Amino acid sequence: MELWFMGTGAGMPIKERNVTSVALSLQRRRGTFWLFDCGEGTQHRLLHSPLRLSRMEKLFVTHLHGDHVYGIPGLLSSRSSLGGTDPLQVYGPPGLRELIESSLRITGTHLDYPLEIKEIEPGPIVVDGDFTVEAAHLDHRIECFGYRVSERPRGGKLNVELLAELGVPAGPAYGELKKGRDIVLEDGRTIRSVDVLGAPLPGRIVAIMGDTRPTAGAVALARGADLLVHEATFGDDLAGKAELYGHSTSVQAAEIAFAAGVERLLLTHFSSRYKTEDLAELEAQARAIFPHTDAAVELVPYTVFGLPR
């Protein structure tokens, strides 16, 4: 699992930053990626990443402010033009269906794939064999959601030294054992997966927040996450402005991370008043409270390692 930020800006793009969007790459597990928000210009930024738009599987929208949604119609159209034929699921608050369907209808856009738009309520919204995604309300000026992506436990590590001692040839046999399936060797011996496979690895957890004032809902959604993405629109000196406009400061984001007991915090959604060199100060403010904090950089991969729980 990797996170790629397509945009880390708030309100409008500037030379150094695009508006908000973050991709969760699931290439190794599913061969796809998921997108969280889609500000204007997102598809342009994707062209500078290894992610192929035709392999986008899901889009999660936190809220309907323009800096989070203006890129959706163009992205949906380009996915079709680039050969995307698999279904695409889009999740977000009420009003999302009208926004998308009106844009596609008025512009005469035809999609060559099934588009499933799901207007959500708090609670589990995706449950499959690999992941569960939960949504919860945040505290912004309009209805806004945060998302918690929980990976199911992964298979344990193969004991390759023992396999070599047992004379098991590397290759497909290893793959079968990794999947939990027993194998029979040419000499008739049965190798049981349970004997050569370590304990299951705990699934990784990523929490991605939309725009929000500090709220207990964000703490609950991020509880114990390996990685939290939280907005830090303003520095600590502008806490009053953040409260007025429904945002958080760098310090408040760090306080959420600390309260939730997460492993790592990535700050994003920076006001256009801050240039690239200014972000070090926001990062320092947050690190004074939660040391494992970084100001997210666009088009740089952030690996979600996961730790024993």
In the annotated binding site, the residues are: 63, 65, 67-68, 140, 211, 269
Give the span between the Cα atoms of 105 and 124, in whole angstroms.
Answer: 30
Q: Which one of 37, 67, 128, 226 is the catalytic residue?
A: 67
Give the span between the Cα atoms of 248 and 120, in whole angstroms.
Answer: 24
Radius of gyration for the chain, computed over Cα atoms and rounded to the nearest angstrom: 21
Binding-site positions for Zn(2+):
63, 65, 67-68, 140, 211, 269
Amino acid code (one letter) for 232: A
Give the span between the Cα atoms of 126 and 159, in whole angstroms.
Answer: 33
Measure the CA angle with vertex 259, ends 256 and 263; round to 5°: 85
Give the span between the Cα atoms of 248 and 3, in whole angstroms.
Answer: 21
Give the span between the Cα atoms of 120 and 101, in whole angstroms.
Answer: 17
HSE at residue 125, side-chain half, CA atoms within 13 A, is 25
Look up 67 and say whether it is catalytic: yes
Query: How many CB atoms within 10 Å of residue 105?
Result: 9
Active-site positions? Answer: 67
